[in-house]
Amino acid sequence: MTRVGVIGAGGRMGSLVCRAVEDDAGLELVATLHRGDPLDLLTGNGAEVAVDFTVPEVVRDNVMWCVENGVHVVVGTSGLSSNDLGDIERATRSSAARVLVAPNFALGAVLMMVFAQRAARYFGRAEIIERHHDRKLDAPSGTALRTATLMAGERAGMAAPIERAEAAASARGDDAGGVRIHSLRLPGSVAHQEVLFGGEGETLTIRHDSLDRASFMPGVLLGLKKVGSLDGLTVGLEHLLDLG
């Protein structure tokens, strides 16, 4: 049985994770950390793996502490920069701890990203529309940025890069590797994304909707059970799935 600590246990996602861990026969919830609680509650209670659902301002320090103290960590908080990820990867080289950073834990969202990556080689233009609840702190979302990164990487060395449309920047969203991202923040939303491809005489839309935060729990539980078998730092839940 894997002993789990939840950092950010009082939040919307953290409280759901606590219940999901308690309901899973292969996991044991041994530590719940709320705002202001010291991280050494994890090691003091024998946590083997921690899951972080906090805020961007503290997630890097939380992950680095876990790595330095030999605690595997699954990260669901947005806000880690490429420099942060580089620091974390280097820290894992001298630690037994493993780190999984997942921009999205919904299995359908992971498949959406993988399908968009594979479709990117066949279309010259693509844009992303992502919609989340109005309390989400970051925009574009981590899911949208990860999707754009995967799409851009798929096209490297193949056809010409995805074209950038010239228009007023204020009306055209953010640019991530030639893929425009449009972010909506509205009450009543949870997590929604469309990837739209355009070609000669056709369009392709790949869409995923999380209608309830419960959709993230299977991916979180999978990450908690598998993170210890990974190498160093892993970004993306797709690496834990058998996608062929």
Asked whether residue 89 falls in the same domain as residue 150, the answer is no
Tokens of 185: 């923040």
In terms of residue numbers, what domain contains 178? 107-211
Asked whether residue 78 falls in the same domain as residue 120, the answer is no
- How many domains, the chain? 2
Asked whether residue 125 falls in the same domain as residue 45, the answer is no
Q: What is the mean pLDDT of residues 9-18?
A: 94
**What is the reported pLDDT for 167?**
54
**Cα–Cα distance for residue pair 217/204, rounded to 1 Å:** 29
Asked whether residue 94 falls in the same domain as residue 150, the answer is no
Give the residue ranges of DSSP H helices in 73-173: 82-92, 107-119, 142-155
**What is the reported pLDDT for 172?**
82
Tokens of 202: 């056709």
% of the chain beyond a pLDDT of 90: 75
Is residue 78 over pLDDT 90? Answer: no
Kindly report, residue by residue over 106-118, the tens digit of the pLDDT.
999 999 999 999 9
**Catalytic annotation, residues:** 132, 136
**Cα–Cα distance for residue pair 105/237, rounded to 1 Å:** 7
Asked whether residue 58 falls in the same domain as residue 128, the answer is no
Q: Band the pLDDT of 159: cuts 50, 70, 90.
A: very low
The CATH number of the domain holding residue 175 is 3.30.360.10
Q: Band the pLDDT of 177: cuts 50, 70, 90.
A: confident
Q: What is the mean pLDDT of residues 156-164?
A: 50
Q: What is the mean pLDDT of residues 101-128?
A: 92
